[in-house]
């Protein structure tokens, strides 16, 4: 970030989150989607479904042969 002290920003985020009783990091996809909707991004986005239906694993990869 231009002109911002990252340690100061981190401290501010931690302090304001603690004051509001919310976690610094949110991993729940439903919560992230609702926040995006509140911020005007439109409909909540779905996490990409990857291999074997595991969210977040996209694309295909072949197993390495071990000769790498």
Structure tokens that stand for 50 in this block: 């990857």
Please give the helix or strand (H or E) that residue 54 lies within, else none.
none
Phi, psi for 55 (deg, rounded to 5): -60, 140
pTM of this structure: 0.44
The parent domain of residue 23 ranges over 6-39
Whether 52 maps to a domain, the answer reads no
**Contact (Cβ atoms closer than 8 angstroms) between residue 12 and residue 6:** no
Place of tokens 């302090």: 15
CA 66 to chain centre: 32
**Contact (Cβ atoms closer than 8 angstroms) between residue 30 and residue 36:** no
pLDDT tens digits, 1-31: 578 899 999 999 999 999 999 999 988 999 8
- Number of domains, the chain: 1
Whether 67 maps to a domain, the answer reads no
Q: Return the pLDDT at 16.
A: 97
Whether 26 maps to a domain, the answer reads yes
Q: What is the mean pLDDT of the chain?
A: 76
Whether 51 maps to a domain, the answer reads no
């Amino acid at each position: 970030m231009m002109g911002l002290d990252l340690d100061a920003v981190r401290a501010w985020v931690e302090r304001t989150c603690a004051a509001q009783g919310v976690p610094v990091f949110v991993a729940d996809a439903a919560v992230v989607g609702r926040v995006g909707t509140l911020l005007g991004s439109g409909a909540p986005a779905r996490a990409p479904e990857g291999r074997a239906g595991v969210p977040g694993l996209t694309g295909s990869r072949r197993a390495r042969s071990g000769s790498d």
